[in-house]
Chains A and B, each alone.
Chain A
Amino acid sequence: MADSDGEYIEASDDEYIGGGGSYGTRGRGKGKKGQRADGRAKNAWELSAKTGLESYRESADGTIGKSIQEREEERKRKRLRKDTKAFQRGIIRHIVLVLDLSEAMLEKDMRPNRYFTMIKYTQEYVREFFEQNPISQMCVMGMHDGICIRVSELSGNPADHISAIQGLRDPKSSTSKEPKGSPSLQNALEVSRATLYHTPSHGTREVIIVLGALLTLDPGDIHKTIKSCVQDRIRVSIIGMGGRMHICTQIVSRTNSGDESGYVVATDQELLRELLLATTTPPVIRSSAPTTDGAAVPAESAASLLQMGFPSRIVEEVPTLCACHGNLTRGGYTCSRCKAKVCSLPATCPGCHLTLILSTHLARSYHHLFPLRNWVEVSWQRAREKGSKQCLSCLSDFPEPPSSHIAHTENGAESSNGAANRTAAVAAASRNTAPKGKQKKDDGSNEDELATASESFRYECRDCKSHFCIDCDVFCHEVLHNCPGCLGGAGPRKEEGNVDTEMSG
């Protein structure tokens, strides 16, 4: 009896894994692979409609709560899934953020409506953008009733942009704009092109369009505009809502030398926020190989030496006028060349146009150049091997690995290893990360692997092999950009055995 039982289980086990694969075609795993072979990845909006119910699945111990938690973790980790290879990136960026102010933004598929949602998130976005790119410049525009209006001028001061964006929805302000009419991509691109025309060649020129409408009302031939954008080496990325438009795909792919990953569609507001924030990472610089157009495209970003001033801070007895706003202030920074006083940095000296900056601002961009590698999910098996009980950095407890407990409840005659595989398979059915496949991938460089939640709620740094919780994972990758384990000496040099003595010590 026991024998047959064992056989039966083995068969079912195999079948289950196979079944998981075929499930995957419906969900993500295999379907995705098939798509990749075609050379076209599935778009987010095509997937999400199907993954809704399916991903609410009972977890190993039969509770649904945990799998909800997993979903949240998965969602949070999505943002981390960026390339962590050290590419050359355009650190000095010039961005035009184009907001859709057409009547399509009155749609209520986001709460309270698209317009308010967009305004709210873009303010946050501007703040985040300048956190990440302190020496970059931004300009905000709006597509309103067929024309493109300028919301704020090209500048490096986040406060200007935020107050200007705030002014859009404030009914009392004179710049208030209600969404109206249709958007015009061509006008927006032309105005952006003109704005970015004189920016120096060492910086990037980017246009980020938040587009709610499913149409563009253009006065002329937009293809000519696209062509001239390509010539001016402007890169356009578009965040759409509701659906994809062919013309957007074309704009994005032509201005990004064939790469259309810059065109994304936000299906809900959380996604909109994530997609917006994703553009705060500086873009990868492509080598200046001749682009598809064959036109004499200048090297995308000619490296150059920039003259910059590192002013010292002064504190004054009597308030004096600052050169930038004309306010009375007690202190500030004096330009190293012309001694004009500015209140905050980074800034361009109003007197002599020298870029004034703190050395710490430069340091702030270093994490783009030396990114922290993504941490990998930890299977139950690995967790047991490692015996980690607490997150290394925040000391919050991990759930115990379901060693014998599950095996007993499900079917007693199974080895703990098989149980692990089985529970893993059950848990992984919704996520399509069967442990076997993952083990295989682990040693390879799978930096671009789909980031999913870890079944054991642990995440492992590949360098120091320490385990962390999801919150620390997100915090370390989004805010800190350091690995507490690697820096804290939990290096591979003293793996496994020594870690615990160290931590207890």
Chain B
Amino acid sequence: MNAIDGTDRHIKSTDGPPPSLLTIILDTNPFAWAHLSSTLPLSSVVANLLVFINAHLASGNANEVAVIASHNKRTAWLYPTPVSAHNTNGHISAQNGAASHTQNANKYQPFAEVETNLLSNLDDLLKTTTPDDLSTTTTQIAGALSTALSYISKSTIRHSPVDPTLLKSHAILIDDGNLTSQRINLVSRILVFSVSGDLASQYIPVMNAIFAAQRQRIPIDILKLAGDTVLLQQACDATGGIYMAPESPQGLLQYLMMAFLPDATARKSLVLPSAGSVDFRAACFCHRNVVDIGFVCSVCLSIFCSPNLQDSTCLTCSSVLSLSSALTAAPALIPRKKKKRKRAPGDGSTPGGSATPLPGNGTPMHT
């Protein structure tokens, strides 16, 4: 198809680095921020974040940014602002925003646009948080990651070398056909500002998101301001992102600029902060013990720490498990029998050495 419609023209390599899409997931869990308020208030984090976003936008003409809030019961877009469903006010408010920041002539327009949108959306989000919403203390990181990944995948399609407006459907078809890796023009990454700890309830969705990111080659960077999760650490490790828990969060901007600003293109030539060791051992489903060698149910893949289960049924899917059938080792090889034929000449060889009828064998040596 390339040859036919001449799309090769578009692929003509540009000399500059490819445009980079930075998707930021801001964990806005009120509990965690309340806890952090003495050392690192949300306002200062947002201020630092805006400087960081500006730096990202400034480092490339075509760079893009998207910000998603992972609140404690829902996720919300902070930038770009979505058009709301029923009322058409979305347009108007966006225009209002545009009007307000065009007035400031001293500010680079894209910076101002991100700033006003992000701040107003964050403001709305916090205002609409009712006491009812505070019943859960976790954050919707799985939803935020899923949204971010879908957004990135769509942006990647939009940026693929084939003209998206004219040949939209075909572009997608091609994108489907050969692996996207060859055509990706957009370099994307996800940065998570994480403040919440326990994510165990979202284990499967987060894992799914991690695998999706891994497949799309999207690194997930984690900036851990509070709490501790192995899950996000694994996300970093699996996707090749940077995991960092700043020791002195007051210098947040420094951490952001030094560790997280370089995009995937630049990272190839940098020494990245290493995550240290990642704990990959599994916790068993029965006692929550961390195990080295575990026993896995072949039906539902639950992990147990000992093979002696009650009634030998799986605790999760209650299917009857047998250990013996799993122990069918590779078929053993029967050792080859000594061949009879070998014996026949052997018979003759050892004792017959002396009794050889050969005339000139031993005798000439001896004499």
CB pair A366 B298 closer than 8 Å: no
Main secondary structure of the interface of A (DSSP, over half): mixed
In the assembled complex, the CB of A385 is this many whole angstroms from the nearest CB of chain B, namely 10
Question: Which of A124, A313, A471, A486 interacts with B172 by CB under 8 Å?
Answer: A471
Can you add 16 more A-B contacts, CB < 8 Å, to A270-B177, A360-B207, A482-B143?
Answer: A68-B169, A202-B325, A303-B319, A305-B296, A312-B280, A313-B277, A313-B278, A360-B210, A366-B208, A395-B82, A472-B153, A479-B215, A480-B209, A482-B209, A487-B140, A505-B121
CB pair B293 A354 closer than 8 Å: yes
Whether A303 contacts B146 in the complex (CB less than 8 A), given A337-B293, A395-B151, A502-B128, comes out as no
Contacts of A284 in B (CB 8 A): none
Query: Can you list, as one digit per residue, whether each of A458-484 has a CB less than 8 Å from chain B (1) or not (0)?
Result: 000000000011111011100111111
In the assembled complex, the CB of A493 is this many whole angstroms from the nearest CB of chain B, namely 10
22 pairs of residues in contact across A and B, judged by CB atoms under 8 Å: A72-B172, A76-B172, A203-B298, A273-B177, A305-B309, A305-B323, A307-B293, A307-B307, A312-B279, A315-B277, A360-B207, A363-B207, A386-B85, A397-B83, A480-B150, A480-B209, A484-B147, A487-B143, A489-B73, A490-B74, A497-B86, A504-B84
CB pair A393 B151 closer than 8 Å: yes
Contacts of A395 in B (CB 8 A): 77, 80, 82, 151
CB pair B298 A305 closer than 8 Å: yes
CB pair B212 A336 closer than 8 Å: no
CB pair B82 A304 closer than 8 Å: no
Assign chain B's interface to a size class. Answer: 35 or more
B87 at interface, CB cutoff 8 A: yes
CB pair B150 A472 closer than 8 Å: yes
Q: Complex: how many Å from CA A397 to CA B216? A: 23
Contacts of A360 in B (CB 8 A): 207, 210, 234, 238, 280
Contacts of B234 in A (CB 8 A): 360
Assign chain A's interface to a size class. Answer: 35 or more
Q: How many A-B residue pairs have CB under 8 A?
A: 260
Contacts of B85 in A (CB 8 A): 386-389, 499-500, 503
303-330 of chain B: CB within 8 A of chain A = 303-304, 307, 309, 314, 319-326, 328-330
223-250 of chain B: CB within 8 A of chain A = 234, 238
B299 at interface, CB cutoff 8 A: yes
Q: Complex: how many Å from CA A482 to CA B208? A: 7
CB pair B82 A390 closer than 8 Å: yes
Residues of B within 8 A of A (CB): 71, 73-77, 80-87, 89-90, 121, 124-125, 127-128, 140, 142-144, 146-147, 149-151, 153-155, 157, 168-170, 172-173, 176-177, 179, 202-205, 207-212, 215-216, 234, 238, 277-282, 291-301, 303-304, 307, 309, 314, 319-326, 328-331
CB pair B298 A92 closer than 8 Å: yes
Question: Which of A91, A303, A305, A487 interacts with B307 by CB under 8 Å?
Answer: A305
10 closest Cβ contacts across the A-B interface? A489-B74, A488-B143, A487-B143, A394-B154, A393-B150, A359-B282, A488-B75, A500-B85, A202-B298, A72-B169
**Smallest CB gap from B127: residue in A:** A505
Contacts of A92 in B (CB 8 A): 298
CB pair A336 B292 closer than 8 Å: yes
Contacts of B292 in A (CB 8 A): 309-312, 336
CB pair B86 A308 closer than 8 Å: no
Whether A200 contacts B326 in the complex (CB less than 8 A), given A479-B212, A481-B208, A487-B142, comes out as yes
**Smallest CB gap from A366: residue in B:** B204
A279 at interface, CB cutoff 8 A: no
Contacts of A470 in B (CB 8 A): 172
A12 at interface, CB cutoff 8 A: no
105-164 of chain A: CB within 8 A of chain B = 124, 131
CB pair A306 B82 closer than 8 Å: no
CB pair A302 B322 closer than 8 Å: yes
CB pair B76 A505 closer than 8 Å: yes
CB pair B208 A367 closer than 8 Å: yes
CB pair A480 B90 closer than 8 Å: no
In the assembled complex, the CB of A272 is this many whole angstroms from the nearest CB of chain B, namely 12
